[in-house]
Amino acid sequence: ANALKPKQEVWVIDFWASWCGPCIRVIPELRRIQAAYDDKGVRFISISVDESEADWLRAREQHPMPWHHLRHTGRSPRDFIN
């Protein structure tokens, strides 16, 4: 019965990389959606597949995204850095 009840939050999961042109181009639209729905319980998390931490950090600085971030560093689910 609990599975049928609405949840309080919805999560949008965005997979991206600093070298991915389409990923970078969509960031302004993601920011607009995040701002419009933040007070309605919609939460965002971006997961980068960048191998280089420096590239990932530089891209986050150049393209601010005011939500949670992780960077996947390997093949295991444990290989995340936030």
For 9, 11, 16, 73, 81, the CA distances from 51, given in Å and listed in that order, are: 30, 25, 12, 6, 11
Q: Which helix (H) or strand (E) holds 79?
A: none
Amino acid found at 80 = F
Contacts of 59 (CB under 8 A, 6+ apart): 18, 24, 48, 50
Residue 45: per-residue pLDDT: 94
| Per-residue pLDDT of the chain in tens (82 residues, 90 and over written 9) | 455 555 678 889 999 999 999 999 999 999 999 999 998 889 999 999 998 999 999 999 999 999 999 998 776 656 555 5
